[in-house]
Structure 1
Amino acid sequence: MARFSISGVSVSGIAACVPKQVISNYDYDLLNDKERRLLVKTIGVETRHVAPKYTTTLDYACAAAEKLFEETNCDRSEIKLEIFVTQSRDFYLPSTAVIAQDKLGLPQDCMAFDIGLGCSGYTYGLSVAASIMKSTGIKKALLLVGDVSTVTCAYNDTSTYPLFGDAGTATLLELSEGNQWSFDLHSDGSGEEAIKIPHGGMRHLLTEESLIERKREDGNTRSDLHLQLDGLSVFNFSITKVPKSLNSFLDEINADRELIDFFVMHQANKLMNETIRKKVKFDPMKVPYSLSQYGNTSSASIPLTIVSELGNQLDVPRNLLLSGFGVGLSWGHALIETNGVICPKVLEI
C-alpha cells in the first residue's frame, strides 16, 4: 500500500466551473414517470450540467482557474507547477496541461503535465502536487481537475446517461508552516472492465464499426466509443474495498473521527455513497453531497462538492477527509488540514 504523510503544504483556494445547460432526469423519456422517480431516489441525481459540443474540460478548468486567481489575488508568474487531472483531454497530444499553461499565462519555467485518472483523481493529484512541492521547494502550484463525461454517455444507456455531469475545477496550493496531510492510495487493474470506453485508444483504434450502437447484454444500447459501466461490479468494489481501506487508513494514522469536520467522497451515486458512509461510521451532517444538482462529475466531484456545499465554512481551520474511488479500478484517501480556503461560488459558463 502507498501510505505517507506530508507537512507544510496548504490549500489557498478552490474554484469550480460547470456548463450553463441543465438537464433534468425527470425529463428522461427513456423511462416512465415511476421509473424516473425510482432512479432519482436510488442514484440521488435530479439535474446535471451538460457541456455543449466542442466545449472541453480545459475550458471549464481554465475558467475556474481565472476566477481563483481573481479571488485570491494570486500572481500567476509565481506558479511553477501545474497538474491537469482528466480523462477527457483535448487531444491525444500534446498534453492538456501544457496547453493550459499557455492559455492561463503561466510562466514557461512552470512544470506542467497530465494525470489520466478519473474518480480517484483529486486525491492522487493532491498527493503528487504536494510531494513535488516539498521535494523541490516550489512555493505555488495549480491543480486543475475535471472531466466532460457526458459526451461519452449514450442516451439509450440508463446506466450512464442519467448519472454523469460535466465540470472543471482549480485548486491553488502553497508551501506553508504546519498543515499535516496524510494519503492512502490504491489500484487494481484487474477491474478495468468495470468502467471503460472500449474503442478509440491505441489498443482498439477508431473504426466505422466503433460508431455502431448495439444492444448489449445488460439491455442498454451503446457503441464501443461510449462509456460502459458494470454497475454491480462497481458497487461491490466500492462498498467492500473502499470502506475497508478507509477504516484501516484512519486507524493507522490514529485519526480521531470526532475531530474530522467533513468527509467528502467522490459523488458516485447516493446508494453507494451512503453505504460507504455507514460502514465508516460518519454522521450524515459531516458528509456533504452535490449529486442532486450536478450528478457524478468524475474527477471534479470532490472539489466541486467542497466549493458548492462547504465553500462558506472553510474560512476557519478544518480537517477534511477526502475519498475518491472508481475507474481503473483506482481509489485513494486523503486527510488534510486546511487553514482558511477561499472558495468563490460555482461559476457557470
Structure 2
Amino acid sequence: MIYARIAGTGSYLPGEPVTNNDLVARGVDTSDEWIVERTGIRSRHLAPAEVGSSELARIACERAIEAAGCNADDIDLIIVATSTPDYIFPSTAALLQSKLGIRNGGAAFDVQAVCSGFVYALTVAEKFIRSGSHKRALVVGAEVFSRILDWSDRGTCVLFGDGAGAVVLEASEAPGIRASALHADGSHHPILCVPGGVASGQVIGDPFLRMDGQSVFKFAVKVLGDVALEVLEQAGALPAQVDWLIPHQANIRILQATAKRLGMSMDRVITTVDRHGNTSAASIPLALDLAVRDGRIRPGHRVILEGVGGGFTWGAALLDF
C-alpha cells in the first residue's frame, strides 16, 4: 500500500507586519478595537507591488524542501492553490517550477478553490501519489489578496493579507493522510466573490472582493463542523483522538465556533489569524508550518486541516504527521 505523508513544511510572509493602527494611519475608516473585537486580527502582511504569488511561493517551497531533506529536482508534481495568480497564464505552478530550477518535466498546475484551495490541492496531490504515478509533490497555498481589496470598504479590507505556505508530500509505506473530503455549492457564490474579469484589455465588472460577512459566518461554521466530522467518520476516529485542529484562518469567532461544535478546547486549535489575517489558500499551511517549527505539532500527532471559501467550496483532511 502506498500512502502520502507530509515530509516537510515551509512558509513566508512578506515585509513587516502592518498593524490595525497602521491601517488607520493610512486612512482606513476603522480602529484597532473594532477589528480585534470582530475578527481577532491584529496585523497582516502586504507584498510589495512587484512581488507576486509565485515569488512568495518560491521562498515557502525552498524552506519546505529543506525541511524535507530532499532536492528541488526530486519534486515531480507541483500544485499551487491560489486565487491571485501572477498571470492569466501560464499557471503560477509553472512559474514556480521555473523559479525553483526544476527541469525534470514533472507536472505543474494551479487549483482555484479560494480559501479551501490548500485542502483541495493536498487532496489532489495525495491521489496522484497513492496511484503510484508520482513520488514527491510540492503542495502550495500562495496569495496576494491585497491586490483585490477595495481599501475604502472597511468591512473587507481589514480582513485579508498576503503570504504563502507549502508542504512536501511524499510516498510512504506508513499512513499519512488518513481521510479527506471535498465539497462545493456554487449557488452560494454571491455572498463571497470578486465579480469581475478582463476582456479586450479592460476590466469587466467589479474587480474587488465583495462579501456578505454575516452569511459567510453562518455558512462557514456549519460546513467546517460537518466536514471535520465527515473525515473523522471515514477514519473511524473521534474528535478526542485529534491532537490539533488547523482551520482556515478567517476569523477568530469562526475558529471558536468550530472548536465548540467538535467539543475541542481552543488550546488544541492552531490560531494564527491574529498575526497575518485571512491569507486565503495560504492560511492553513502558514499555520501548519508555524506549529511544526515551534514544536507543538510533532511526529505521530493527528491533525485535521479544514477550509471554506468562496464558491462556495469546503473540505478537510485528517492526517498523521
Fold equivalence (TM over 0.5): yes
**Residue number in structure 1 paired with 2:185:** 188
Q: 1:194 to 1:134 in 2, by over 3 A?
A: same
| Root-mean-square deviation (Å) | 1.9
The structure where helix makes up a greater share of residues is: 2
**Residue number in structure 1 paired with 2:313:** 330
**Residue number in structure 1 paired with 2:11:** 16
Tell whether 2:58 aligns with 1:76: no
Report which stretch shifted further, 22-31 or 258-267: 22-31
Tell whether 2:46 aligns with 1:50: yes
- Counterpart AA for 1:235: F
Tell whether 2:68 aligns with 1:85: no
Superposed CA offset, 1:176-209 (max 9, x none): 112152001110000111111111246xx76478
Question: Percent of aligned positions with the same letter in both sequences?
Answer: 30
Tell whether 2:232 aligns with 1:250: yes
Which blocks of at least 5 consecutive residues in structure 2 are unaligned?
none
Counterpart secondary structure, 2:317:
strand
**Residue number in structure 1 paired with 2:128:** 132
TM-score by length of 1: 0.85
What is the aligned counterpart of 2:105 among 86, 103, 109?
109
Superposed CA offset, 1:250-287 (max 9, x none): 23432122221100000010112211211121111100
Q: 1:1-349 to 2 correspondence within 5 Å?
A: 8-29=3-24, 30-31=28-29, 33=31, 36-180=32-176, 181-201=178-198, 207=202, 224-311=206-293, 312-338=295-321
The runs of at least 4 consecutive aligned structure 1 residues that moved more than 6 Å come to none
Q: 1:193 to 1:32 in 2, by over 3 A?
A: closer
TM-score by length of 2: 0.92
Q: CA deviation at 1:28?
A: 3.2
Check the 8 A contact 2:17/2:45 in 1, yes or no: yes
Q: CA deviation at 1:57?
A: 0.9
Report which stretch shifted further, 289-298 or 300-309: 300-309
Superposed CA offset, 1:47-104 (max 9, x none): 1011111211100110111223334331222211111111111111112211211111
Which blocks of at least 5 consecutive residues in structure 1 are unaligned?
1-5, 211-223, 339-349
Counterpart secondary structure, 1:333:
strand
- Counterpart AA for 2:18: I
Counterpart secondary structure, 1:28:
helix
Check the 8 A contact 2:231/2:318 in 1, yes or no: no
- Counterpart AA for 2:192: I
Check the 8 A contact 2:239/2:262 in 1, yes or no: no
Report which stretch shifted further, 125-134 or 251-260: 251-260
Q: 1:91 to 1:251 in 2, by over 3 A?
A: same
Check the 8 A contact 2:164/2:282 in 1, yes or no: yes
Q: CA deviation at 1:108?
A: 3.3
Which structure: larger Rg?
1
Distance, in Å, in 1 between the alignment partners of 2:227 and 2:172 is: 29
Distance, in Å, in 2 between the alignment partners of 1:258 and 1:136 is: 33
Q: CA deviation at 1:315?
A: 3.8
Distance, in Å, in 2 between the alignment partners of 1:206 and 1:238 is: 35
Q: CA deviation at 1:164?
A: 0.4
Superposed CA offset, 1:116-156 (max 9, x none): 12211111111100101111342211112111101111111
Distance, in Å, in 2 between the alignment partners of 1:242 and 1:32 is: 29
